[in-house]
Amino acid sequence: MRRTIDWDGGPGDPAIATVDQCALPHEHRVLRLRTVDELIDAIKRLAIRGAPALGAAGALGVALSAYRHPADEAAVRDEAARLAAARPTAVNLGWGVERALKRLPEGPDAVLAEALAVLEEDERANRKASRRAADLILQLCPRRPLRLLTHCNTGRLATVAWGTALGVVWHLAADGQLEYVLADETRPLLQGARLTAWELAEAGIPYRVLVDSAAPAALAQGLVDAVVVGADRIAANGDVANKIGTYAVALAAARHRVPFVVVAPESTLDLSIPDGGRITIEERPVEEVTRFAGQPVTPPGAGAFNPAFDVTPADLVTAIVTEDRVFHGPGAGQ
């Protein structure tokens, strides 16, 4: 399966095919989702995750609903609303839903055509944005070959294909300009250790996994030339919401004057929100922290603070790179 998520429908049997990201790295399992409820469940349990992949899921989900309810526009809009709310921080999910809904009056085929256009655009946009970011990092960092640190998973698994921040790695490796990647494990579901490491191993790129709290130590020891991350929502002032732990990495990068570069598609920009304080931060189930591999790791009744994302202030960001432009942030002097 070349794409992480794709349409897999036939006459009378509309469906979405997607890689089950909860099964990796031990099993490469493809799910076939036939209802919006199944899609919402896959999104909530992070079988589908990553901002661009969620945008594709949103658009495909509206197409799925349109085929399931061809004569009931109200039912489609109701399912679309529930789908868009499945993960409130990730702006791409609602963006994909709204984009497909605009074609709903034209019928299911038109909705699917719009959803497929979202998929087709994804890889082109990500390749372009990550090439821009790779060139920028080459300008910012004189040392060769480069040593990068990344957080969470931003490769092809987080998108329809190719990747955002991890796409920078693919470009630099192809250019012969990459020494290694340090991949934060990413709490609490280990997206870095399970998914980023799997993608890097598959590509034959040297890497090491490090616990999230070791990233500042790696920066302090001079093991990192640049930090490159993705984003789930970017406010008008350049504040960036990304996987929990990103803010701590940005603070350490600023302290040690290491460039901190964000790579995301234009669809991740939310200019309706003036700053990161207005971004709704999803909080995940307590059990993701209090249990590990199904076994309790805390005393009975322990609570947990388990936000899925944090907000990195714009003044810590060296640059935000999209497929169309580069925003040089207040942190550009790092």
The residues carrying an active-site annotation are 232
Q: Which residue has the tokens 């936000």?
A: 307
- Strand 260-263 vs strand 16-19: parallel, antiparallel, or unpaired? unpaired
Q: Which segments within the chain are labelled E, that is strand?
A: 5-7, 16-19, 30-33, 146-150, 178-184, 207-210, 226-229, 233-235, 240-243, 260-263, 269-270, 291-292, 295-296, 309-312, 319-321, 326-328
Task: Report the candidate in 123, 99, 117, 151 with the shortest Cα–Cα distance to residue 4.
Answer: 123
Both tokens assigned to 327:
């925003």
H helices within 141-265, ranges in order?
A: 165-174, 191, 197-203, 215-220, 246-255
* Exposure of 211 in the CB half-sphere (CA atoms within 13 A): 3
Q: For tokens 């907000």, name the residue.
A: 311
Which DSSP string do the residues of 125-136 spell out, in sequence order? HHHHHHHHHHHH
End-to-end, the C-alpha distance of the chain in Å comes to 40
Among 49, 57, 52, 46, which residue's Cα sits nearest to residue 17? 57
Rounded Cα distance, 174 and 116, in Å: 29
Greatest alpha-carbon span in the chain = 62
Q: How far apart are CA 183 and CA 190, in angstroms?
A: 10
Cα–Cα distance, 137 to 120 (Å, whole number): 27
Judged by DSSP in three states, 147 sits in strand
